[in-house]
Copies of this chain bind each other. A is one copy, B any other.
Amino acid sequence: MAKEQTASMEDYLEAIANLREEGKVVRVKQISQVLNVKMPSVTSALKKLSEEGLVRHEPYGYIELTLQGDKAANDVIGRHKALSCFFSQALDIDPLTAEEDACKIEHVISPLSLERLTKLVEFIQACPLGEANFPKRYKYYLEHGELPEECLLTISKTKQSSE
């Protein structure tokens, strides 16, 4: 079973997978730029990840993820995507902030909470209330600080419902 990685090592794995995804050849320089660290930091991280069998890397050569490394990277990326999706879609946060928060929180959130966040996004997107659907009502609330008329109107209409 894959050993638990630190936030830092997860960042390296994620960066490698993302660069690979973009079709670029993965090199130390690139990683260092993406993660905003100096090259020696990358070298030493790669050494560590190699020893753990997550990365293949001969000195001065290209950098690849092993199968295991790829799995670990995809796990992190999955968390990242779920979070940034939640922030932008459900909370209507700007893309930059959504990304930044996802980058931090992806390393610490529990599987359960992540799953529920995902479900919440799904629910909000799926539950159709026409013009008065969730995101619109929520945005109205964000902008005006009070509930939209639809919500208030509904009170009387649902008074006959039991409990």
User: Could you list which residues of chain A lie within 8 angstroms of chain B, going by C-beta atoms?
Assistant: 87, 90-94, 97-98, 100-101, 104-105, 108-110, 112-113, 116-117, 119-120, 122-123, 126-132, 134, 137-138, 141-142, 147, 151-152, 154-155, 157-159, 161-163
Q: Which of B105, B128, B155 contacts A128 (CB 8 A)?
A: B155
Nearest CB in chain B: distance from A141 CB, A? 5
Q: Is the CB of A116 within 8 A of B142?
A: yes
- Quick one: which of A108, A154, A163 has the most chain B CB within 10 A? A108
Q: Is the CB of A93 within 8 A of B113?
A: yes
Q: Which of B100, B113, B151 contacts A127 (CB 8 A)?
A: B151
Given contacts A91-B116, A108-B104, contact A151 B129 (CB under 8 A): yes
Q: How far is A119 from B91 in the complex, measured between Cα atoms in Å?
A: 9
Contacting residues, chain B, for A130 (C-beta < 8 A): 154-155, 157-159, 161
Q: Is the CB of A131 within 8 A of B91?
A: no
Q: How far is A92 from B132 in the complex, measured between Cα atoms in Å?
A: 24
Nearest CB in chain B: distance from A64 CB, A? 30
Q: Is the CB of B105 within 8 A of A93?
A: no
Q: How far is A117 from B126 in the complex, measured between Cα atoms in Å?
A: 20
Give the residue name and chain of the B residue nearest to A140 (CB): B123
Contacting residues, chain B, for A93 (C-beta < 8 A): 112-113, 116
